[in-house]
Amino acid sequence: MKPILPGLQRTLSDAEIHASRYIIAVTVTLASVMELLDTSIVNVAIPHMMGALGATLDEIAWVSTGYVVANVIVLPISGWLSNWFGRRNYFAASIMLFTLSSFMCGNATSLEGLVFWRIVQGLGGGGLISTAQATLYEVFPKKEAGNSMAIFGLGIMVGPMLGPTVGGYLTDAISWPWIFYINIPFGALALLLALTFVPDSKFARRAEAVDYIGLLLLAVGIGCLQTMLERGEKLDWFDSHEIVVYSIVSVFALVAFVQHELRHDHPIVDLRILADGQFSISLVFGFLLGATLYSTVFIFPVYLQTLLGWTAWQTGLMILPSAVASGMTMAVMGRITGGTRLDLRVFVLIGACIFAFAMWQHGHFTTQSGWDDFFWPMILRGVGLGMVFIPLNNLALGNLNPAKMGEGSGLYNLMRQLGGSVGIAASATLFVQLQERNRGELLGHISIYSDAAVLRLAQLKALVLAHGTPETLAQAKALLLLNGQVLRQASMLSFERLFLYYGIAMLVALPLLLLMRRTRFARGGEMAH
C-alpha cells in the first residue's frame, strides 16, 4: 500500500514518538469515539429516515445492522491488516474510508444507497478501535500504560452514551443527514493528526501470503452471528427460518475457521495466542463487561423515554454524569496502575462490586423516580465500570508479545462488541418475556371481587366522564386506562429485574479472577508476577 499523502509521512524517531505520545492518545481516541458514536447515533433518527426514504421499519433496521456486522468482521483481522499495509497507512485509510462514507450516507437518496455506505462505514470504523489500542500499548512505556488506557477508555465509555443524545439534537435542530455530516470535520482532524503523529509498529511482521479462505470463513461466520443477534428478537428467534439459517451457517463457518487457522502457516487471525490462559480468561471477562456496559446503555434510556417520557436530550444529560465519573475514575486508575504493587485483580473485584451495588440501586427505581433518584446510582455505575476497564485491559493485553498486540487487541475488542450485542439481544428478549409474565400476575389481582380494583376503576370512570366522555363509552375507556396502568407497572417491574440481572452478571464473572495470575505493574514499569 503506497503512503497516503506522502508529504506528511516520514519515519518518526523514538524520541519524537515519546514526546508526542499524548497527542497520539488523543488522536486514536478521537477516531474511536467517532466509530462508537455511529453505532447508536442513527437510532433516534430512524423515523425521519423512514419518511425520507420511503422505507419500512424492518428495511431501515439494516442501516444499523449493516454497520455493526461490517464492524465486527473487520475487528479480528485489523491486526493482520495493520501489519500488511503498515499501521499508519491502515489507520489513516480507515479514517478516510469512514469519513468519506459518512458524507455519502448523508447524501444517500435511497435505502439501498444508505445501507451500502453504512456497510462501507462499518468496514472503515472496524479498523479504528483495535488499531488504536495496540498503538497506545506500544507508544506508551509500561508505567504509563494506565494513563493511555484512561484516555482511550473515556472514549469507549462516552461514545455509545452520547450517540442518542447527539443524534436526537442534530435530527431535531437540523435534519437527519447531519448525524453523518458531523463526522467530516472530526474525521479530517483525526486524519491529519494520524498522518503526522501515529507511527508504524516496530514489531510488525508482514505475512508472506493472504489467507483468503480464513478471511471468507471469518466474514461469513461472524457476519451471520452478528446479524442473528441484531434481528433475533424482532423475528422471534428460532421460530424464524431466517434466524435458524444464520445460526447454522455461523456455527459451521466459525468451526471451520478455527480448524483452518490453526493449520495455516500464515493465518489471518493467529488463534495460537489463545494458548495464553491469562488472555483467554480476559476475553471471557471482556465479553461480560461488554454485555453489562452496552446493555445498561441500551435499557436505561428506554426506561427513561418510554415510562417517564423524557426526551433524548434529557436522557443524554442524565447519562452524562456516569460518563464523567467513568472518565475521572479511569484517570485515577491510570495513575494508580502505573505505579502500584497491588494485584490488579483487586481493582477489578472492587469495581465489579461497586457496579453491582449501583445496579441494585437501579433495581429500586420506580415510575415516579427523578433526577435526584438517578444521580448517585449513575455516578456509582460509572465509577464501577471505570475501575474494571483499565485493570482488565492490562490483565488481558499487558503480557502479550508486542508483535501479537494488534491481533490480541482485535480479539479482545471483538469479544467486548459481541458481548454487547448478546447483552442487548438478551435484554430485549427478556424484557418482553418479563413484561408478559408481570402483566399476567398483576391482572390476576384485578377482579370484581377486589375492592382496590373496583375502586380504581370507578375513579378512572369518573375521570373520563369529567373530560367529556359519553356515559356509554366511559366504562370501556376506563378499562383501557386501567390496562395501560397495569402494562406500565409490568414494564417497570421488568426494568427493575433487568437492572438486577446486570449486577449479578458482573458478580458471576468474579471467580474468573482466580484463574488469572497475580499480575501487577511494578514501579519500574515492567510486569511482575
- Among candidate residues 154, 185, 210, the one where a domain is terminated: 210
274-285, pLDDT tens digit by residue? Answer: 888 888 888 888
**In this predicted model, which residue has the larger pLDDT, 251 or 153?**
251
Kindly state whether residue 256 falls inside one of the protein's structural domains.
no
Q: How many residues does the chain have?
A: 529
Kindly state whether residue 420 falls inside one of the protein's structural domains.
yes
The cell numbers describing 400, all together, are: 502479550
Residue 158 has pLDDT above 50, yes or no: yes
- Among candidate residues 192, 210, 228, the one where a domain is terminated: 210
User: Residue type at 302?
Assistant: V
The cell numbers describing 116, all together, are: 451500502
405-425, pLDDT tens digit by residue? Answer: 777 877 888 888 888 888 888
Asked whether residue 193 falls in the same domain as residue 304, the answer is no
Convert 66-126 into a string of H (helix), E (strand) and C (coil).
Answer: HHHHHHHHHHHHHHHHHHHHCHHHHHHHHHHHHHHHHHHHHHCCCHHHHHHHHHHHHHHHH
pLDDT at 523: 34
The cell numbers describing 86, all together, are: 503498515
**In this predicted model, which residue has the larger pLDDT, 461 or 176?**
176
Closest CA to 27 of 114, 105, 128: 128
For 307, phi then psi, to 5°, come to -95, -35
Q: What is the mean pLDDT of the chain?
A: 80
Kindly state whether residue 269 falls inside one of the protein's structural domains.
no
Q: 384 and 361 in contact (C-beta within 8 Å)?
A: no
Q: Is the dihedral of CA 122, 126, 132, 133 positive or negative?
A: positive
Q: 198 in the Ramachandran plot: left (φ > 0), alpha (ψ -120 to 50) or beta?
A: beta
Residue 504 has pLDDT above 80, yes or no: yes
Closest CA to 334 of 494, 92, 102, 142: 142
pLDDT at 136: 83
- Among candidate residues 164, 191, 210, the one where a domain is terminated: 210
* Most confident segment among 196-200, 246-250, 270-274, 404-408: 246-250
Asked whether residue 193 falls in the same domain as residue 53, the answer is yes
Give whole-number Cα distances, 116 to 41, 122, 123, in Å: 17, 10, 11
Closest CA to 169 of 326, 44, 23: 44
The cell numbers describing 249, all together, are: 451457517
Q: 410 and 357 in contact (C-beta within 8 Å)?
A: no
- CATH code at position 161: 1.20.1250.20
pLDDT at 188: 93
pLDDT at 380: 94
Asked whether residue 30 falls in the same domain as residue 165, the answer is yes
Q: Show the domain range for 318.
A: 277-529
Average pLDDT score over residue span 95-111: 91
Kindly state whether residue 516 falls inside one of the protein's structural domains.
yes
With cell 375492592, the residue in question is 451
Count of domains observed in the chain = 2
Spell 235-268 as b/e; 16+ CB within 10 A means b: beeeeeeebeebbebbeebbebbbebbeebeebb
Asked whether residue 68 falls in the same domain as residue 158, the answer is yes
User: Residue type at 205?
Assistant: R
Kindly state whether residue 217 falls inside one of the protein's structural domains.
no
378: confidence class by pLDDT, cuts 50, 70, 90 = very high
pLDDT at 448: 60
CA pair distance 80, 77, nearest whole angstrom: 5
The cell numbers describing 515, all together, are: 484463574
- Residue 130's CB is within 10 A of a number of other CB atoms, namely 29
Asked whether residue 184 falls in the same domain as residue 301, the answer is no
482: confidence class by pLDDT, cuts 50, 70, 90 = low
Kindly state whether residue 220 falls inside one of the protein's structural domains.
no
Kindly state whether residue 261 falls inside one of the protein's structural domains.
no
pLDDT at 332: 82
pLDDT at 526: 43
352: confidence class by pLDDT, cuts 50, 70, 90 = very high
Kindly state whether residue 252 falls inside one of the protein's structural domains.
no
